[in-house]
């Protein structure tokens, strides 16, 4: 019999399998996709951001309400530990100018290939093309194969690492939610995180500037200001700067029906500096030409200034509009377009070892737990740390002579 059956071949599941196999357990991993870690590979397309180099206390604060729950797991498996693990697979890392940590290859595929070779050498079996559908009356795990055959798999312990609900075409479709709810396990509603937001653009902005980047800006909302970039889309606004504020914006929309954020189109200049520049005589130039030449505002920025209403006539008013341009978000993008998801298994349903209190011998890790983090290395670090913690809990559970019976 298997010692451990891991459901989900993402980072949390793969790392938990490695840690358990390293301690001598017989492990298999089942995943509904034909190949493992599809979302992990997607994350690496723009440069695989593994973790972050900032102080651990600041790092932990990014997880908001889940910080006390996650703290012992991060102290047991730190960002430095994740870098060391990566180096052990032959993939050196570096710290970028923003403090984010990347593999030197900037890709996920070399790391994943080395990782899968290690798991294979450890005897970990991969069961691809199997969808988790629940538990049989005798406690066996029910997996639906691509051939539509229903398979019963028994193991002394089970780890659920099935992900959230973002990018369902890559594997994490949240089909596990009704299975666990039927067992009386509380699951917080899954919501889009690190996502874009719908804006009711005028037809001119929507048709003319869809896909246009806004570079070197700053976004402010609910007392927080985030420098970075964003992208105008046909539906609204997306990109790194808005992703960093997505939790606060999403919650405000749920509460108030909309959220008005402010865009600073020239964060490197003060209102006073802009006002002084705009004191220069305009002559016969149109407003657009004058602003383009004086402040190097591009057509998309000029369009956004007018999107907020008629431009003020006075220099101070224009400067204020440039520094505090209001944009009203009316809804988050659909969850299948989000980078990650918020919500998941309520943390009070889990012991400190990540075993489900109502399902002895069944553990959970990764994004299917109710924690949320911004981009910047925080998502993967939490997946690895919770995967490691779950593996430790599983090994201790089995070492104590316990094993799953009827669930």
Six token digits for residue 232: 């105008």
Q: How confident is the model at residue 313 (pLDDT cuts 50, 70, 90)?
A: confident
Q: What is the pLDDT of residues 187-206, one digit of tens each?
A: 999 999 999 999 999 999 99
Six token digits for residue 110: 């070399």
Q: How confident is the model at residue 405 (pLDDT cuts 50, 70, 90)?
A: low
Hey, is 325 helix, strand or coil?
A: strand
Domains with residue ranges and CATH for the chain:
2-193+341-399 (3.50.50.60), 197-332 (no CATH)
Q: How confident is the model at residue 287 (pLDDT cuts 50, 70, 90)?
A: confident
Hey, is 214 helix, strand or coil?
A: strand
Following DSSP, what letter does each residue of 101-117 receive, concatenated?
A: EEETT--SHHHHHHHHH
Q: Global pTM? A: 0.93
pLDDT of residue 148: 76
Comparing CA positions, the residue from 47, 52, 62, 45 lying closest to residue 82 is 52
Phi, psi torsion values for 226, nearest 5 degrees:
-125, 115
Q: What is the pLDDT of residues 351-378, one digit of tens each?
A: 999 999 999 999 999 999 999 999 999 9
């Amino acid at each position: 019999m298997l010692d451990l059956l891991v459901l989900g071949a993402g980072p949390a599941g793969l790392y938990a399998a490695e840690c358990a196999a390293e301690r001598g357990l017989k492990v298999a991993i089942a995943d509904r996709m034909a190949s493992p870690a599809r979302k992990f590979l997607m994350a690496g397309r723009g440069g695989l951001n593994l973790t972050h180099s900032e102080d651990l206390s600041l790092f932990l604060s990014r997880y908001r309400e889940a910080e006390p729950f996650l703290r012992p797991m991060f102290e047991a498996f730190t960002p430095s530990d994740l870098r060391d693990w990566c180096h052990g697979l032959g993939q050196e890392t570096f710290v970028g100018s923003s403090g984010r940590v990347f593999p030197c290859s900037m890709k996920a595929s070399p790391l994943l290939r080395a990782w899968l070779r290690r798991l294979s050498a450890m005897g970990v079996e991969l069961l691809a093309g199997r969808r988790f559908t629940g538990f049989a009356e005798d406690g066996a795990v029910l997996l639906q194969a691509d051939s539509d055959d229903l398979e019963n798999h028994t193991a002394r312990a089970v780890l659920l690492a099935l992900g959230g609900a973002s990018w369902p075409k890559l594997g994490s479709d949240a089909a596990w939610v009704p299975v666990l709810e039927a067992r009386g396990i509380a699951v917080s509603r899954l919501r889009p995180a690190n996502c874009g937001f719908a804006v009711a653009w005028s037809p001119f902005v929507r048709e003319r500037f869809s896909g246009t980047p806004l570079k070197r800006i700053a976004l402010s909302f609910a007392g927080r200001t985030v420098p970075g970039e964003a992208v105008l889309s046909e539906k609204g606004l997306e990109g790194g700067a808005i992703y960093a504020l997505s939790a606060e914006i999403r919650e405000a929309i749920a509460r108030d029906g909309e959220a008005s954020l402010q865009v600073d189109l020239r964060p490197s200049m003060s209102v006073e500096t802009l006002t002084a520049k705009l004191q220069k005589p305009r002559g016969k130039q149109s407003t657009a030409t004058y602003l383009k030449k004086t402040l190097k505002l591009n057509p998309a920025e000029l369009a956004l200034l007018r999107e907020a209403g008629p431009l003020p006539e006075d220099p101070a008013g224009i400067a204020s509009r440039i520094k505090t341009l209001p944009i009203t978000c009316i809804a988050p993008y659909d969850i299948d377009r989000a980078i990650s998801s918020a919500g998941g298994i309520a943390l009070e349903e889990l012991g400190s070892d990540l075993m489900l209190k109502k399902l002895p011998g069944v553990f959970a890790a990764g994004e299917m737990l109710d924690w949320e983090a911004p981009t910047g290395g925080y998502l993967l670090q939490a997946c690895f740390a919770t995967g490691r913690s779950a593996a430790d809990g599983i090994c201790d559970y089995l070492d104590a002579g316990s094993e799953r019976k009827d669930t």
